[in-house]
Each structure stands twice: as structure tokens, then as C-alpha cells.
Chains A and B, each alone.
Chain A
Amino acid sequence: MKQGEILNNRLILLAVVFAVWAPMVHAEVLYVDGRNGNDAYPGTKEKPLCTLDKAVFLVNTNSDPGPTVIRILPGIYNLTQHLVLENSRPYTEQERVTIEASVLPDDPKWTPQCMPMIFSTEDPRDPKRPDTYGIKIKVSHVTIRGLKFLGSPNDMYAPIERIDEGLIDLLVTQCLFVGDEDSFDIYCPVIATGHQFVVDHCIFHNCHASAVFWDGPEGVSGRNNGMRYCIVDGGLISGVWTCQTAEDFEFHHNIVTETEYFWMRKSGDQQRYRLHDCIVTHNKYESGYGNASGPTGQTRQEVTFVEKNVVRAGDIVLVKDKKSRNYLHPAPGTLGSHLGSGLFKKLKHTEEEKRKIEEGFVKVNNVRLYYKTIGEGGPVVILHGGPGFDHKHVLDFEVLGDAYNVIFYDQRATGNSTGEVNANSITVDNFVEDLEGLRKALKLKKMHVIGHSWGGGLGMFYGIKYPGNLKSLVLLGAAGSSEFFGPYLKEMESRTSPEDKASLEEIAKSEAFAKGDIDAFERYYKIAVKPIFYNKSLIDTLDWGFSQKTVKNQRAVAELLMKDLGEYDILDELSVIKCPVLVVHGDYDCIPYEALYTVHTHLPQSQFVVLKDAGHFMFIESPDKLFSTIRSFLRKQ
């Protein structure tokens, strides 16, 4: 018996490891995109399905062995009828069914908005179903990962349910469950019978009975179950509920707070569970008995726990800002923030260890330039636009850090860099020399340079002066002649709505703006860039992250530099740039197509790419296409 347990434990470990790392090369993968998908499509990445119903139908009607992955894009998924995952395919611990979000919490690009939101509006009046479900699971070896479950206007709603004899191995991980008693209730977020039911890195906010390890057949205890790294807050009934669950139940690194009962168990069950490394505070009752109808009262001395390292006092403060990566996690620096509970499996430092990050200052040309480098490989220097912005909003390029040494820096007088703001300091020539100084200071020989907007202009000026130092050059939304400024401004003007003009004026006149309020400044530029976003809903994902210095100096820097640029035309001089160049235009950009096309035609070795349905900030609007284009361009050099 004991050996069997150990074996099973190993298997669980294996299962988890596989779920995270298995390369799933031959997997059947179905993509679901509630916004752009279509159920007549095959479900490939390019042609995704629209509904979860269809994906589950396709999985159920197939008879091949696994693995199977249903990958869900961000969006809203309303289940008007519950899903039933039911088939006789020979899944195994390694070859699993995985239902997961297309972007997972440990991805550096992840934000709470990446989580597909699933809720139910199943008809409440069907007398056959007083209780409703989201996903009913009738197969073994299932992983559900990275999804956000909301409730249902119905009562007694359970988003994930596995109740059947003989089923084993269900892993629910990195999921967020958010309920509301009065409007959008979740009764049991996850409820399952049987063995190997593991709830891992989940957050339960305002649900009734958070994780329920339900009764199997009478007398058979559920083995190899676990709950760990979870946060339960505001549970209306319980933080965890066990029934016949064997004492090998793993319960650790959980936070349970503001909940009615911390631990609910089946009447008569007296297992002595072991809990370690938990924070259990501000719950009304510690331990209670309950049955299908709810709690029946507190346990007495017949029930005890084995505890190790359990914190019983202190306040848990959760982040409520939905924009924050830490939404519904303990606020950094407060009780529980170091426990590792919550949606993230890799703590941040391990992520940073994996990709070497370095930052500092180099003194060049009488200024101190702030720089930050990510990853190892050939050097790729990123030039931000503005003029006068800083490197923060182009940090999206750090995805290249898995294969390159990506170098960001703040151009002089903005971000964290120093520099005087006057006509002697803010000149194109100084900006070119700053980049050259940075190159020497960081001891780079030849470098790839990627310039966005004005950064692309800077890249061209640099390339004309120092063509030998470039390995390649990528120009995104940049012009080689001031003759395109007129049409650009005219187009911007015509695409800005009167309301937005009024808002811009209002902000520009406000006291906060004059005082250098970062919020006001960022708000201003979010409205200002609206005309050059094809998909306006993505503007919010543009994270300016301006520094106080940027806010103070940006407008003066831009003005001085534009004055220094004056009327210019460097198209004919581009012929000296002999290295390969990639020129990219977003077809919704206000900068005219010709501005980019003329740059392309004047370069000896250039590739021209137009991104469809993308504006000026193509790294936000079309990241997949842009970065795959850049990667294949860089690989060739």
C-alpha cells in the first residue's frame, strides 16, 4: 500500500512536470477565438474555432489517442449550455487533454486581460437542472490552465465538475475564479471525486465553497489529492472541503482569508490532515462539518490538524487594480506576497535569471545614458521614438531577448538619462554621437539596430555616418524626408474626432498637465495616438511608463530636435548604408506609405513589409507578424 502511494505521488509530480514542459509536438491542437473565430473553420491557429462547444465536440468525436490541447484566446465565452468532455480516447498522464489560455500567466507579456473569461447563462428554469455547470469532465487525465471563470446569474453554479466513478487525474492550475453572491454567483468553483485531483496556483475570490474534494464511492478514500499555492478570499462557505479524502492530501502554500469556514469536512470524517507553509487569517470559523446542503456546525476536539509553519495573524491585502499583473494577489511587500501563492509558477526572479538582465549608465558625449540589456546573443539596439519619449514603451522588443542581447537606452534628457535641454544639446548630430558612444562603451563591434518612429530616423542618420558599424537595420514607421510631415499631420488631424480634440485641449490646459503629472501626460498621449491605432481597444495595452524627466522635457526636446532637423531629405544619402535593411509600414499608420516606400527604394539592400490592420505602434497591434518578420530577417544576417 505504502509503495503504491509513493508511486502515485511520483506520477503526480511527473504529470505536473509534463503538463508544464511536455513539448506536445504531435498534439492535436484546437484554437478557439471567440472574437475572430468561426465554427466552420478547422481550428488551426490561423483559422480558429469560435466556440468552446465546437472544440469539445471535435475532441469528443475523435478517437485517436492524445494528447489534445484546446487553446483559448482572450475574450468572453458565454456557455449557454454546459460543456461535457466525454469520450473513450486513451489519454494517459503524459498524453493529456489540456484546456488552456493562449497566453499563460508566466509569460512576461501576460496581463489579467489575457485570460479568457468563461461564464454561464444556462437556462435557470429547467427543472431537471437546479444546479448548473460550466465544464463537466467525464475523462481522466485533464489539465485546465490559465482561464478566468466568472459566475452565473443562476444559483448553484459549478464551473468545473468531475463527478463519476473511476476517473482520475485532474489538474486545475493558474485559474482565477471570481464570483459575486448577488449577481454572478459561483457555488463550487471546482468539485471532483476520486483520485489525483490537484488544484494548483488558483485564486478564488468571493465564491461559496472554493475547492471541493468530493465523495467517491462509499468507503473509498480519494488519494493523491492536493491544493497548493492557492489564494482563497471571501469564501462564503469554505476555503477547502474534504470528504473521505485520504490523509496524503497535500495542502501547502495556500492563503485562506475572510472566509466562513477555513476547512469543511464530511460529517464523521476524522482524518488528520497535514498543512504546512500557509497563511490562514480572519476566517470566521476554523473547522466545520458539512454535507450537500451546506455547513452543519463546527468540529470539536475529535478533529485536529498537523501544522507546520502556518501563520494565523495579520491582514492580507490584495491588489484590486485590474490592470496590474498582481490583480487579486497580495500587494508586493505585504503579508503573503513572498509565499509564491497565486497564478504565477515561476517567480519573477527566476524569469530574470533565465534572461540575463543588466542595467546601468554609460558616460558619453558629456551625458549619462541609462541603458538596460536583456538576454544573450548578438547585440540588438532599440531606438525609441518621440522625439523625447523614453525606452519603457518599446520594452515589447524584449521578447527578442531569448535569442539576442537586446539593448534599450533612454536618449539624452529623457527617461533616466541626463542632458541639457537647449539648442546646443538637442541636435541630431549629438543623438547620433550618443548612439556611437553607447556602442563603444558597451564594447559592441557591429550591431543590429531597430528604430521605431523617430528612432527609425535616428537609425538612418546613424547609418549614413557610421555605415560600417551596422550589422543590419530595421526601420519601423519612419520617414526619410520632411516632405511627408505635411500629409502625416493632415491625416492625423482629420482622423482626430472633435471630442478627442476637446479632451486633448482640456488636458493640455489642466493644472495637472502643467505641473508635470505623469498620469495626465500619459492620458494625453493615449488620446493623441488614437488616430494611428487600427484597433483602438489595444491602446490601453500601450504602457507608456514615462519617467518624471520625460514628462518634464519631452515637448521641449521634440521642439528643439524638429527645429534642428528643419526641412531635410536624406533619401539620396541612404545609398551608403550597405547592410541589409528591413523597412516596415503599418497600413493604418498616418505616416504615408510613400514615406516608407521611398526609404526602401533608396537603400541598396532592403526588404519592405506592409503589416495589414496595424497602425504606427505595430509592435502592439501586430506583434506576432512583426516579431516573426524581424526574427527571420535577423536570422539571415
Chain B
Amino acid sequence: MKRRGSLNYQYIFLVVIVVISAPLVNAEVLFVDGSNGNDANPGTKDKPLRTIARAVTIVNSSKEPGPTMIKVGPGIYIMDEMITFENQRSYTRDARLIIEATILPDDPAWRPVHMPIILSTVQGIFSANEMHALTLRVEVNHVTIRGLSFLGNPRPRTWHYAVHRVGKHLRDLVIAQCLFLGGGEALRYSSPICANGEELVVDHCIFYDCDIPVIFWNAEDGLSQGNAMRYCIVDGVDIAAVWTCQTDVDFDFHHNIVTRSQYFWMRAPNNKKKYIVRDCILTDNKYNSGFGTASAIYGQTGPEVTFGEKNVIKRGTIQLEKSLLTPEALSVARPRGYLHVVPGTLGSDLGAGLFKKAASLQEQTNNN
């Protein structure tokens, strides 16, 4: 068991490297541009598609092996129906299915306005007492989602998921450099990411004003391995910042900032695993650890639950950069560091947030 755990860990490491540096020369690439595209176009750079739904239909209808790349231009994308990645194509760890922004945060020219904004108006499906609306369902292995901004769903009393994976047999889903923005009474945001299966890696993401940012759910054999959450900033969570169910102790949780949240960590009632938390800042959260299920929060955990902590800061205030009113431009400006830690304040040198370059610099410094 232990061996399998460490093997997975290596795989994941590999995956991230590959994702960053693979040249993807022979990839199938589809371009989407919500403003100037057209769904009758072939989806090339010059003749982009208009909707993400159309790109997904094209990807699903092909039987070629991967890799596949969907590149989404800046703009606002309304998802009024659930979109599902579902096909028989033989993606692998190296030849992946990637959906990403055309300009990514590490590009020096990048600004928050370059993030494609995905707004869901999906009508929920009724379940017990509320509506559940899934926006992007990922039902294939080896998928990366990168550089997108997901907003909530304006429909009333709707439990909204941005990215959802139902299949318990599935593995390898990387969600990186994405922004998940809730909006109080206007755009309630329930569960940005919820995935069954194994190897869900949430990396360099920001979750602002959501109910439950990430749910690491169940796997086929009752034990989910190879999961990770790192370099994320979580601020203002109404329920719990992290939720683990059948997640194994190899869960790789580090370089995260969790602040102003109800619970830091929620787990299934029968889950007493001792997870390792390292290099994190956890401040101003109401409770540390709790038990809960899909239907109820049971309350705080007792002495039966402990964490292996290393280098965890629990005091101090996290200050995030907010949008600015700029008189001369008569506009609201979102600086490059929008919703990142204000430089020079607690947490600004942790490397958490949308930028990977900062994080790798940070690691180098640490190693030296």
C-alpha cells in the first residue's frame, strides 16, 4: 500500500512537469473566441469557434488519441447547459486533454482581464431540497484545466459546481491557475470543484467567497490516492475550505493560505486519517477541523482527529489586493496581483496564487 502511494506521488510530479514544458507539437488544437468566433468555423487560430460547448462536442466526437488542446480567448462565456467531456479517446499522462486560456498568468503581459470568465446559468437538477447545477463535467482521464475564471450561478437556491467529475474510476485531473469567484447575494458559489476518483490536483488556484472550494470525494475501491492541493489561496469560505472523503494520507497539502473561513478542513464522519499539512498559513478561520456529510455538518472533530503539521502559521492577518477605482480612467482596475497577498505582508512570499513562476523561485530559494 505504501509503495503504491509513493509511486503515485512521483507520477503526479511528472504530470506537472510535462504539462508545463511539453511542446505539444502534434496536438489537436481548437481555438475558442466568444466575441469574434463562430461555431461554424473549424476552430483554428484564424477561424476560432464561438462557444466552449462546440469545442467540447468536436473533442467528444473524435476517436483519435490525444493530446487535445482547447484554447479559450478572453471574454465572457455563458454556460446555459451542462457541458460534459465524455469520450473513448486514449488520453495519457503526457498526451492530455487541456482546456486553457490563450494567455496564462505567467505571461508578463497577463492581467486579470485576460482570464476567460465562465458564468454558469445552468438550470439545476432537483435533488431532495435544492437544485444541483453542474457546469463542466469531466468524465475522462488525464485532463488539465488552466487559467480560467469561474463565477457562480445566479439561479436562486441552486447548489452550483463549476467542475465536477462523477466517475469513481477516473483519475488524473489537474486544475491549475484558475480563479473561482463567488459573489455574496448576487452570485452564490457553492462548490467550485467536486471530484470522485483519484489524482485530483488543485494547484495555484484562488477561491474567493465560495461555500466549499474543493471536495475530494469517493473512489471506486473506497480509497482515493494521488490527490493534492497546493499553492492555493482560499478566502471567505462559508462552509469548509477543504473537504476530504475517501482521500488517502498521501494527500499532498502544502503552500496554501486559508483565511476567514468557517471550517478549515471538513471530512467524512468515518474518516480519521492523519493528513500532513506543511508550509501553510491558516488564520482567522472559525473552526479548524470538522465532520460532515452531503446533508449535514456534524460539528468539530474531537481528539480522534489530528494532523501532521510542519511549518504552519496560525496567526496574523492576510491582506489581499482588491480592485481599485481609478479616477482618470473612470473605471475599476484589477491589478495583476488582484486577490493575491499584498506584497510585503504576511504570506506574500509563500508562492500561493495564480503565478507558478513565483512559486518555483520560492522553492529554489528554499532549497538554497
Which bucket holds chain A's interface residue count? 35 or more
Query: Which residue from chain A places its CB closest to the CB of B125 in the assembled complex?
Result: A536
Beyond A123-B75, A125-B74, A153-B117, is A206–B35 a contact (Cβ under 8 Å)? no
Beyond A184-B151, A187-B332, A537-B131, is A125–B35 a contact (Cβ under 8 Å)? yes
In the assembled complex, the Cα of A43 lies from the Cα of B157 at a distance in Å of 30
Query: Which residue from chain A places its CB closest to the CB of B184 in the assembled complex?
Result: A180
Q: Does A353 sit within 8 A of B, measured CB to CB?
A: no
| A112 B184 Cβ-Cβ under 8 A | no
- Interfacial residues of chain A within 264-284, with CB under 8 A of chain B in the complex: none
Among B185, B209, B322, B328: residue with most chain A CB under 10 A: B185
Beyond A121-B76, A526-B129, is A76–B329 a contact (Cβ under 8 Å)? no
Q: Does A28 sit within 8 A of B, measured CB to CB?
A: no
| A113 B35 Cβ-Cβ under 8 A | no
The listed residue (B74, B113, B155, B326) touching A76 by CB distance below 8 A is B155
Q: Does B330 sit within 8 A of A, measured CB to CB?
A: yes
| B75 A181 Cβ-Cβ under 8 A | no
| B121 A150 Cβ-Cβ under 8 A | no
| A178 B186 Cβ-Cβ under 8 A | yes
In the assembled complex, the Cα of A537 lies from the Cα of B328 at a distance in Å of 48
Query: Which residue from chain A places its CB closest to the CB of B182 in the assembled complex?
Result: A183
| CB of B148 to closest CB in A, whole Å | 13
What residues on B are CB-neighbors of A184 within 8 Å?
151-152, 154, 183, 186-187
What residues on B are CB-neighbors of A153 within 8 Å?
76, 117, 119, 151
Q: Does B22 sit within 8 A of A, measured CB to CB?
A: no
What residues on B are CB-neighbors of A187 within 8 Å?
332
In the assembled complex, the Cα of A182 lies from the Cα of B150 at a distance in Å of 12
| A292 B330 Cβ-Cβ under 8 A | yes
| B181 A123 Cβ-Cβ under 8 A | no
Which of A83-91, A93-101, A304-312, A320-328 forms contacts with chain B? A320-328
- Interfacial residues of chain B within 284-342, with CB under 8 A of chain A in the complex: 322-323, 325-334, 339
A462-475 near B? 1/0 per residue, CB < 8 Å: 00000000000000
| A183 B126 Cβ-Cβ under 8 A | no
| A294 B325 Cβ-Cβ under 8 A | yes
What residues on A are CB-neighbors of B189 within 8 Å?
183
| A294 B327 Cβ-Cβ under 8 A | yes
Q: Does B156 sit within 8 A of A, measured CB to CB?
A: yes
What residues on B are CB-neighbors of A322 within 8 Å?
156-157
- Interfacial residues of chain A within 289-303, with CB under 8 A of chain B in the complex: 292-294
B99-133 near A? 1/0 per residue, CB < 8 Å: 00000000000000100010101010011110100
B157-182 near A? 1/0 per residue, CB < 8 Å: 10000000000000000000000011
The listed residue (B34, B128, B186, B327) touching A523 by CB distance below 8 A is B128
| B323 A323 Cβ-Cβ under 8 A | no
| CB of A204 to closest CB in B, whole Å | 11
What residues on A are CB-neighbors of B156 within 8 Å?
112-113, 322
In the assembled complex, the Cα of A328 lies from the Cα of B186 at a distance in Å of 12
| CB of B306 to closest CB in A, whole Å | 29
| A530 B329 Cβ-Cβ under 8 A | no
For the complex with contacts A124-B75, A183-B189, 20 further pairs of A-B residues with Cβ separation under 8 Å are A76-B155, A78-B78, A119-B154, A123-B76, A125-B113, A130-B331, A153-B76, A155-B333, A156-B330, A156-B331, A178-B186, A182-B181, A184-B154, A184-B186, A184-B187, A206-B185, A293-B325, A294-B327, A537-B131, A539-B126
Pick 8 A–B contacts, CB within 8 A, sort by A.
Answer: A113-B156, A123-B76, A125-B74, A130-B331, A156-B332, A292-B330, A523-B128, A540-B129
Q: Which 7 A-B pairs have the closest CB atoms?
A: A180-B183, A293-B327, A183-B183, A155-B332, A180-B186, A183-B181, A121-B76
